[in-house]
């Protein structure tokens, strides 16, 4: 008889424990969907501050906003962690044109982030290639002094658009250096996007130490196609590119950190974050205003539900993911120096789209845990709980004792907006954005409850 009592108690306890968690997660979703503020916060960030490249004044204003917002929500402490950031500036002039049959054509073009400028316009013939390898196959003398045009599209056949981005990324990251190595005067690329439109998409490039940096810009997909067609008509056409970008001295900005102090394990940390900086066009709405505001919302939800975590929750608004990951590196370095134990970090940097689940960089044990927790997310239509990419900012925290999670969202539209003038508040849907915050808060809660 006693045996049965113990068994029943165990069953009841197991059930009630899991029920308690299910109910709290329901409370999280109810709070987010009834009283959520992350969408209004995103509106403020996009419309009152706008884009916020690291090193810029608007990035400094965004830091102030982040600090004030978390203080306003009653976080236990809010502070700035100083981060040294570069100051890349686009410059006043950004001009690209060519003539076809006597008519001037002005493609929509933007300098790549980090590009050098030139005093005078660079006007030269264009050599079009589909890949870096194709460029390498050319004799140097065929390239020397010309403008290299990498016309490589993201692969539309990949269902995960992040993979398609990864597959074409090399032309932006390495294209300009490789073009310079062959003696080119400048470099243009087709924008990394799956959309067929007239938005040009910037993003970081970097120059190898052994080459002479040359100006580099991206054309919209429509303009890249038009240029390719024009080159078929007239392979001798000359394109003129004039960028006035420059890199100033580094300055100190910072990660904005808000804490809810842990009740049982105050010296053990769970990080939830996104990056506060954005590129200097558009409004940085999906990249990564949504992640930043969702992260703050996690703390707001906990406050609203009177949930004080057992571990210390740090909401981190990282500074300068886009052009060097200074915020992420600084945060991880500091954690190491202070011997801070991080049990988990969660990043949202895939846009504010309908959440699908979480991907994990961690151990097999972490993965088994995540798969076990998947059942809590079933009522909210999350289904993706697998190993995979987490996030750039939290990446440097990686260790066997720290599980890194990335919020996985529907990726189909992301690259239509990414790094372009089209990444604006209007392209974020309130429910999709808010559901992501609720999913993140739920995962933080589970980690906080289930781990010591």
Q: Which residues bind a second copy (CB under 8 A)?
A: 29-30, 33-34, 156-157, 159-161, 194-196, 354, 356, 379-381, 383, 410, 412-413, 416, 429-432, 435
Least spacing, CB of residue 371 vs a second copy, in Å = 15
Nearest of 293, 301, 287, 246 to residue 87 by alpha carbon = 246
Least spacing, CB of residue 416 vs a second copy, in Å = 7
Query: CB-wise, 269 or 445, nearer to a second copy?
Result: 445
Q: Quick check: 75 and 272 in contact, CB under 8 A? A: no
Bridge partners of 258, per DSSP, are 78, 315
Beta carbons within 8 Å of 285's beta carbon, 6+ residues apart:
42, 46, 352, 417, 423, 424, 425, 427, 428
User: Scanning the structure block, which residue is given the tokens 């996007």?
Assistant: 193
Query: CB-wise, 248 or 431, nearer to a second copy?
Result: 431
CA distance 169 to 173: 6
Structural tokens at position 55: 């090193």
Least spacing, CB of residue 293 vs a second copy, in Å = 17
Least spacing, CB of residue 35 vs a second copy, in Å = 10
Query: CB-wise, 262 or 406, nearer to a second copy?
Result: 406
Query: CB-wise, 69 or 356, nearer to a second copy?
Result: 356
3-class DSSP assignment, residue 22: helix
Least spacing, CB of residue 431 vs a second copy, in Å = 5
Least spacing, CB of residue 28 vs a second copy, in Å = 12
Q: What are phi and psi of 89, to 5 degrees?
A: -125, 135
Query: CB-wise, 48 or 431, nearer to a second copy?
Result: 431
Nearest of 209, 206, 163 to residue 187 by alpha carbon = 206
Least spacing, CB of residue 332 vs a second copy, in Å = 32
Query: CB-wise, 106 or 371, nearer to a second copy?
Result: 371
Query: CB-wise, 180 or 193, nearer to a second copy?
Result: 193
- Is residue 94 within a helix (H) or strand (E), and if so which, with residue range? strand 94-100
Query: CB-wise, 336 or 431, nearer to a second copy?
Result: 431
Question: Strands (DSSP E) along 264-423, which ranges?
Answer: 265-275, 311-318, 341-347, 355-361, 384-387, 403-409
Least spacing, CB of residue 153 vs a second copy, in Å = 11
Burial of 295 (0-12, 13-18, 19+ CB in 10 A): buried
């Amino acid at each position: 008889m006693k045996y049965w009592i113990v068994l029943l108690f165990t069953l009841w306890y197991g059930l009630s424990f899991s029920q308690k968690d299910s109910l709290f997660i329901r409370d999280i979703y109810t709070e987010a969907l009834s009283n959520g503020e992350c969408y209004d916060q995103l509106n403020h960030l996009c419309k009152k501050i706008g884009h916020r490249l690291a090193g810029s004044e608007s990035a400094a204003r965004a830091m102030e906003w982040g600090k004030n917002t978390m203080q306003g929500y009653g976080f236990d402490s809010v502070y700035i962690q100083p981060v040294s950031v570069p100051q890349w500036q686009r410059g006043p002039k950004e001009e690209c044109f060519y003539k076809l049959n006597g008519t001037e054509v002005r493609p929509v073009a933007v300098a790549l982030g980090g590009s050098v400028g030139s005093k005078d316009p660079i006007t030269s013939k264009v050599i079009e290639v589909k890949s870096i390898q194709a460029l390498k196959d050319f004799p140097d003398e065929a390239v020397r002094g010309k403008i290299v045009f990498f016309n490589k599209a993201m692969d539309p056949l990949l269902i995960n658009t992040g993979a398609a981005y990864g597959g074409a990324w090399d032309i932006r990251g390495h294209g300009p250096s490789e073009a310079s190595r062959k003696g080119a005067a400048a470099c243009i690329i087709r924008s990394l996007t799956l959309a067929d439109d007239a938005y040009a998409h910037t993003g970081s490039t970097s120059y190898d130490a052994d080459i002479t940096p040359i100006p580099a810009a991206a054309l919209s997909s429509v303009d890249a196609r038009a240029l390719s067609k024009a080159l078929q008509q007239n392979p001798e056409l000359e394109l003129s590119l004039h960028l006035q970008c420059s890199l100033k001295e580094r300055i100190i900005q910072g990660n904005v950190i808000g804490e809810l102090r842990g009740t049982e394990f105050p010296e053990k940390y769970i990080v939830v974050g996104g990056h506060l900086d954005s590129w200097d066009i558009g409004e940085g709405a999906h990249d990564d205003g949504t992640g930043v505001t969702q992260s703050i919302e996690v703390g707001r939800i906990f406050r609203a539900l009177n949930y004080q975590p057992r571990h210390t929750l740090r909401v981190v608004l990282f500074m300068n993911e886009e052009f060097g990951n200074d915020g992420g590196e600084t945060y991880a370095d500091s954690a190491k120096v202070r011997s801070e134990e991080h049990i988990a970090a969660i990043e949202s940097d895939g846009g504010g789209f309908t959440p699908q689940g979480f991907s994990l960089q961690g151990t097999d044990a972490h993965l088994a845990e995540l798969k076990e927790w998947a059942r809590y997310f079933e009522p909210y239509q999350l289904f993706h709980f697998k190993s995979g990419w987490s996030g750039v900012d939290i990446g440097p925290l990686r260790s066997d004792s720290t599980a890194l999670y990335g919020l996985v969202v529907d990726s189909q539209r992301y690259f239509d907006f990414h790094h372009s003038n089209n990444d604006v508040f209007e392209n974020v849907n309130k429910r999709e954005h808010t559901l992501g915050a609720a999913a993140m808060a739920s995962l933080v809660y589970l980690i906080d409850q289930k781990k010591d």
